């Protein structure tokens, strides 16, 4: 009985004119279904390629912040110059509890056992991983030439993720670079402007008394030009965010114990 009814419905559908409401809806739904299947299959199939590109982009940024990037170079090959290490932030010492090649910093930051909630949170990150992967660049004698430290924190619209390269004395900045953010092009996104990034080269973190003095501001602080990076024009709020996040990561809750050990030649 119901089979005959179904056949009747199908016959009526087929006999309807091509621009009938039923056929129009049917075609629209069929096109949506096919298109969504193609898009989702492409997303799944391309995920490994995206992961490889993400890794390559990160490696390229580490090469850039260390001054080793050359256009056209084999990024994976050039990246072998770096020695990744997992650092315990509180002690400022490396740990072999984790494999530095596979340690997932982002996952660790939300893992209860591997992170902590921040009550004093000037960088606006909420939680902080207890361990971070850092990258060492060694000189020919095997000593440390530079350390590349991941940093992140809130700007105006987004969390900025980047790296700071510090010289072997644990105090002189070689470079700073963000590889991911959502600040406004022409305003906050000028953090990517090579002229602004170049200002970081040669700046110092701490004065002779050991006080953290590095500052991003509209006017030079009393500590002097060695500790001063000019704020971005028309993007004071992003600049304040960068100031906060750099001072947070270079401070006691961040890499200060490690940088002190590096300065003392204990690393």
Ligand X SMILES: Cc1cc2nc3c(=O)[nH]c(=O)nc-3n(C[C@H](O)[C@H](O)[C@H](O)COP(=O)(O)O)c2cc1C
CB of 133 to ligand X, least distance (A): 28
Let me know if 228 is exposed, middle or buried by CB neighbors in 10 A (0-12, 13-18, 19+).
Answer: buried
Q: Which of 64, 215, 238, 253 binds ligand X (CB under 6 A)?
A: 238
Going by C-beta distance under 8 Å and a sequence separation of 6 or more, which residues neighbour residue 91? Answer: 257
Size of the site for ligand X (CB under 6 A): 12
Contacting range for ligand X; rule: CB under 6 A; set: 72-80, 112-120, 200-208, 232-240: 232-240
Window 177 to 216, contacts with ligand X (CB under 6 A): 183-184, 187-188
* Residue with token string 């090579």: 194
CB of 202 to ligand X, least distance (A): 24
Contacting range for ligand X; rule: CB under 6 A; set: 79-87, 207-215, 231-239, 245-253: 231-239
Closest CB to ligand X among 215 and 253?
Answer: 215
Chain centroid to CA 91: how far?
A: 23
Closest CB to ligand X among 115 and 236?
Answer: 236
CB of 205 to ligand X, least distance (A): 23
CB of 160 to ligand X, least distance (A): 10
Strand 228-230 relative to strand 215-217: parallel, antiparallel, unpaired?
parallel
Q: What are phi and psi of 20, to 5 degrees?
A: -70, 160
Going by C-beta distance under 8 Å and a sequence separation of 6 or more, which residues neighbour residue 145? Answer: 137, 138, 139, 167, 168
């Amino acid at each position: 009985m119901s089979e005959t009814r179904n056949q009747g419905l199908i016959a009526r559908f087929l006999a309807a004119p091509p621009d009938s409401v039923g056929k129009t809806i049917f075609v629209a739904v069929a096109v949506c279904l096919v298109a969504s299947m193609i898009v989702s299959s492409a997303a799944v199939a391309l995920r490994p390629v995206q992961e490889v590109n993400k890794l390559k982009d990160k490696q390229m940024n580490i090469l850039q912040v260390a001054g080793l990037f050359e256009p056209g170079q084999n990024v994976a090959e050039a990246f072998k110059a770096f020695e990744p290490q997992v650092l315990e932030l509180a002690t400022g010492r490396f740990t072999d509890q984790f494999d530095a090649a596979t340690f997932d910093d982002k996952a660790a930051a939300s893992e209860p056992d591997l992170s902590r909630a921040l009550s004093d949170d000037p960088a606006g990150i909420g939680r902080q991983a207890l361990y971070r992967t850092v990258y060492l660049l060694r000189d020919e004698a095997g000593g440390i030439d530079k350390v590349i430290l991941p940093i992140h924190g809130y700007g105006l619209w987004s969390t900025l993720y980047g790296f700071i390269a510090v010289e072997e004395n644990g105090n002189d900045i070689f470079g700073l670079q963000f590889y991911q953010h959502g600040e406004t092009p022409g305003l906050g996104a000028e953090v990517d402007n090579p002229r602004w990034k170049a200002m970081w080269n040669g700046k110092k973190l701490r004065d002779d008394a050991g006080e953290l003095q590095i500052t991003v501001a509209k006017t030079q602080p009393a500590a002097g030009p060695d500790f001063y990076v000019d704020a971005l024009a028309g993007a004071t709020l992003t600049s304040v965010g960068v100031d906060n996040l750099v001072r947070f990561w270079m401070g006691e809750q961040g890499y200060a114990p490690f940088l002190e050990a590096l300065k003392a030649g204990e690393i």
